[in-house]
Amino acid sequence: MLVRRLSMVFFAVVLLVIPFRQALTATSSPQSDPKKDAILKASDITPAIFPEKVFYHGQVADAQMRNTGGIHFADGLYVLAGLVDTSGYATAVKEKYQGYFLNEVPVEMNGQSLKPGAYGIGFVAEAKFLVTDLGGNTILEITGQRDADLKRPTPLQVLAAPDTGAYRLYLGRNFVTIKRVS
C-alpha cells in the first residue's frame, strides 16, 4: 500500500515537473509578446505547459485541454487552469473539485494569497470558490462573483480584469480575480 502511494506521488511530481521545465526552457511563442503579459486560450495551451493527466486526491484524471486558460507573464512564468474529467471521483470530491490550477508565481485571488503550486479548484453553491491541495484539503475559500453580462460564457476562460495586471478566472459566469504578487 505504501509503495503504491509513493508511486502515485512520484508520478504526480513527474507530471508537474516536466511541463514546467519544458515551459521554462522553451523559446517565446508567436502568440506572446516577450515584453508584456499574455492571456492564453485553450488553443495556446499544449501538453508542453499543462499536463494531459493530473493527480488529485489519490487518482489520476484527464485534463480537458479544450477547457484550459491561463496567463503567460512577460518574464516567462505561468498561471494555468483547466477543467478535469472527474467521473471517477466520489460525489463529495466532485462537488468541490472541477479543475486544476498551476501557478509558478505567488498570486492573490480576490485578495487572498496563494503560493506557487498545483491545486484543485472549483465553484460550489452561491459562487463560493474553493482552492484545495492535492489531497482535497481546503486551502482557500473565496467569495466569487457572478457576471450576468458576460456575452459568451464558456466552461473555463481567463479574461483581463478592469484593473491593470489583474485577470479574471471564469468557470461559466462565476469568476475570481487573480493578480500576481511579489
State the sign of the Cα–Cα–Cα–Cα dihedral 111, 112, 113, 114. negative
Closest by CA to 15, choosing from 69, 62, 71, 76, is 62
Q: What are the residue ranges spanned by the domains of the chain? A: 2-180
CA–CA dist 163, 91 (Å, integer): 37
* Residue 1, pLDDT score: 55
The full 3-state SS of 26-85, as one line of letters, equals CCCCCCCCCCCCEEECHHHCCCCCCCCEEEECCEEEEEEEEEEEEEECCCCCEEEEEEEC
* Residue 65, pLDDT score: 98
* Residue 137, pLDDT score: 96
State the sign of the Cα–Cα–Cα–Cα dihedral 115, 95, 178, 65. positive
* Residue 167, pLDDT score: 98
Closest by CA to 63, choosing from 115, 118, 114, 23, is 118
Backbone torsion region of residue 137, taken as left when φ is above 0, otherwise alpha when ψ lies between -120 and 50, otherwise beta: beta
Q: What distance, in Å, lies between the first and last C-alpha atoms of the chain? A: 40
* Residue 31, pLDDT score: 52
Mean pLDDT by 10 residues, the chain (182 residues): 50 47 48 75 98 95 98 97 93 92 98 98 92 96 96 96 97 97 90
* Residue 5, pLDDT score: 54
* Residue 126, pLDDT score: 77
